[in-house]
Structure 1
Amino acid sequence: MKIPIDKDQRVFYSRAALGWTLLWLFTYLVNDTEIFFLRFANEIWRNFYLVAINFLFFEFALPCITKKRKYILVNIILAIPLLLGTVLLLSYGLYAWRQVGIQLHIYTALRTDTSLSDAVAFQMQGGIMSLLFFGFTRHIYAYQKLKQAAQQLRIEKQEAELNYLKSQTNPHFLFNTLNNIYSLARDKSELAPESILRLSQLLRFMLYETSGEFIAIEQELKIMSDYIALEKLRYDETLRVNVNHNIDDMKQAIPPLLLIPLVENAFKHGVSETRHQPFVDIHLSVKERQLAFIVKNSTEEFSGEQRVKENIGLSNLRRQLELLYTDYQLSAKQSESDFSATLQINLASHV
């Protein structure tokens, strides 16, 4: 009968066997170096047997004993022969394995016992010690695997949440853009065809360029410029938009559409609600992996008693930042006639 052994079991028992062998070899090097190589050959022979017995005990006997059953008495009845059998295998069985090695001239008898019981007792001592060693290392290995699994689960959960936030942000961004085009079409504006063309460019970018984890900053600036141009079609010359940037490397990578929510927020919740002298000032700086993005826009008169409220775009952006970076700061400030949002990111702190 072929016993199935998965990859984790092979890895664990290989490492545990190596650790057990090295432990004994270290003891031999400290106490007796003259017959070190004979002892080394003996331990290799013994380990084939000990690994097999430990594998049978921990993978079959122990799960059978600890399995949840309706009546605990069944577990007790099963435990007696299984434990007794393991003890016999680690005593008389190990002694018999030693004798087989001697007959095959693989194992060298370095110890003379006065009786069979003394020989078996000596072998059982080593066998029980191996059981304790394998049990302890198995517990540590299982704990580490559990930690890795929990970490992987946490990462997968964060990735799923991040994808969900992106799936919210992109349609939200598209919906607002369609509203702009609807306003132009309703007014039968001659700019409607141009706005549709610009929208197609935005859609092409969102479909083919934002599926990856990163894009170059110059691409983010391009989509930002296209979006601003599309927004400006809705307004007359009274709207003032100022965009400037100071970037030491335009090829630096950032998550796609990370900066757009602040720009979108400036138009939707600022300029669109401003009746006199609307404006948007945008400044982007990236130096030595330190990103600073400031968006300032006009608003109507503000009462100091009001509180700054985050819409879905800013809320999603804040949560994305929590999942993407460990060193960042997003702040918003409302004054009497303008609103400013400041985003600072250490791009090197990407998780």
Structure 2
Amino acid sequence: MSIGINKERVKLYLYLAGISLLLSALIDFASDPETALKSSVNYTWLMLYVVVLHFILFEYTLPFIQFKWKRLLVAPILIFVHLMLYAFGTFAWRYIGIQLYVYSPLKEYASIIEGVRDHFGNTIGSVLFFGISRHIYDYRKLRKTAQQLRIEKQEAELNYLKSQTNPHFLFNTLNNIYSLARDKSDLAPESILRLSKILRFMLYEAGGAFIAIEQELKIITDYIALEQLRYDDSLHVNFNYDVEDMKQALPPLLLIPLVENAFKHGVSESRHQPFVDIHLSVNKRQLTFLVKNSAEVFPEEGRVKENIGLANLRRQLALLFADYQLLVQQDEHVFTATLKINLASHV
């Protein structure tokens, strides 16, 4: 068993002793103002002894015997020793104070037993005060620690999800450029330039917890322009937005997975009249992001299959916001994703 002294715990007991002294002084002043000063000095002297006993009891004795069956055999002895120290020890400490002219005997006792009984009763009240206060302090500290661990775990998971999503987004974009280069398209250099702009954003601007909505709109616009290089005029893209405040904060690259999904798993697989309709609305901290795209449904597919981008997006939303909704719907030729977020519910 370690017998080192925790400085933080010492500060706690000194703090509780100060509160106890203040309460005692207020009570003494209210009951008898003439002897209030002497009573406060007496209580301070006794507290010097009692607080050490409290510290030993709560920090060493009780932890020593707690949940240890072999040590429970000596528990009655240790408790008895503490009771004697609280009862006779406190009265003896009073006597030492009187001899040192520190303690003023405001009350005379007919016998030692009477004095011991009186001081023991007051000491038990102090034990309860320190014990309850210590329990409340430890409980609040434990909750704070648990909350901090939960936050750190969520941050680690969120960073992991981002580390998955960003390379996934990058690889899909590189595949687009590869297809242009393979066809020896004159648009390949322009696509590389646009990709470099997207990478610059991801490296230097998307590393923080938030970006302005106008920055998110810019990266979406660049990504759409990059994707359009792969298609001819048969692809129809409509992107519009209604945002009351472009400086509102938004987690970076939160919306791009839905846009990427529309092109990679929608337009690229559409055989007739491919299209993408995107609308963003942010008013009174309520965000609505609607993405529709052409899609093909095969008879063997009975439900919507979510790829890694949508799955990660759902988990990120769960970690970031308390009030949100992400709905996806597959019709015969249209795939619709609707994202609604109460931006004020960020956790």
Q: Look up the match of 1:268.
A: 264
Deviation at 1:31, TM superposition (A): 4.6
My pick for the range that moved more, 144-153 or 50-59, is 144-153
Q: Look up the match of 2:12.
A: 12
Q: Look up the match of 1:167.
A: 163
Q: What is the DSSP-based 3-state SS (H/G/I as helix, E as strand, rest coil) of the residue aligned with 2:296? A: coil
Q: Look up the match of 2:306.
A: 310
Deviation at 1:294, TM superposition (A): 0.8
Deviation at 1:149, TM superposition (A): 1.9
Q: Look up the match of 2:316.
A: 320
Structure 2 residue corresponding to 1:205, chosen from 201, 221, 227: 201
Deviation at 1:210, TM superposition (A): 1.4
Distance 1:62 1:301 in 2: 68
Distance 1:223 1:317 in 2: 17
Whether the 8 Å CA contact 1:270–1:298 is kept in 2: the answer is yes
Does 2:5 align with 1:41? Answer: no
TM-score, normalized by length of structure 2? Answer: 0.91
Deviation at 1:30, TM superposition (A): 6.0
Q: Look up the match of 1:337.
A: 333
Q: Look up the match of 1:57.
A: 57
Q: Look up the match of 2:185.
A: 189
Q: Look up the match of 1:92.
A: 88
Q: Look up the match of 2:235.
A: 239
Deviation at 1:36, TM superposition (A): 3.0
Structure 2 residue corresponding to 1:347, chosen from 332, 337, 343: 343
Q: What is the DSSP-based 3-state SS (H/G/I as helix, E as strand, rest coil) of the residue aligned with 1:189? A: coil
Distance 1:227 1:122 in 2: 82
Does 2:119 align with 1:118? Answer: no
Structure 2 residue corresponding to 1:291, chosen from 284, 287, 291: 287
Deviation at 1:11, TM superposition (A): 4.5
Q: Look up the match of 1:224.
A: 220
Q: What is the DSSP-based 3-state SS (H/G/I as helix, E as strand, rest coil) of the residue aligned with 2:282? A: strand
Does 2:135 align with 1:134? Answer: no
My pick for the range that moved more, 330-339 or 124-133, is 124-133
Distance 2:88 2:61 in 1: 18
Instruction: Give the AA of the match of 1:13.
Output: Y
Instruction: Give the AA of the match of 2:242.
Output: N
Instruction: Give the AA of the match of 1:310.
Output: E
Instruction: List alignment gaps of at least 5 residues for structure 1.
Output: none
Distance 2:149 2:59 in 1: 25
Instruction: Give the AA of the match of 1:4.
Output: I
Distance 2:204 2:13 in 1: 47
TM-score, normalized by length of structure 1? Answer: 0.90
Whether the 8 Å CA contact 1:54–1:131 is kept in 2: the answer is yes
Alignment of 1:249-264 (within 5 A): 249-264=245-260
Structure 2 residue corresponding to 1:178, chosen from 174, 188, 191: 174
What is the RMSD computed on CA atoms of the aligned residues? 2.3
Deviation at 1:17, TM superposition (A): 2.1
Distance 1:299 1:316 in 2: 21
Alpha-carbon distance change, 83 to 301 in structure 1, aligned in 2, over 3 angstroms: closer
Deviation at 1:312, TM superposition (A): 1.2
Distance 2:82 2:307 in 1: 66
Deviation at 1:84, TM superposition (A): 3.5
Distance 2:116 2:4 in 1: 28
Task: Report how many aligned residue pairs link the two structures.
Answer: 345
Instruction: Give the AA of the match of 2:287.
Output: L
Whether the 8 Å CA contact 1:302–1:337 is kept in 2: the answer is no
Whether the 8 Å CA contact 1:302–1:335 is kept in 2: the answer is no
Instruction: Give the AA of the match of 1:40.
Output: S
Deviations 1:286-339 (A, max 9, x none): 112111111111112576973222211111111111110011111112222211
Whether the 8 Å CA contact 1:281–1:297 is kept in 2: the answer is yes
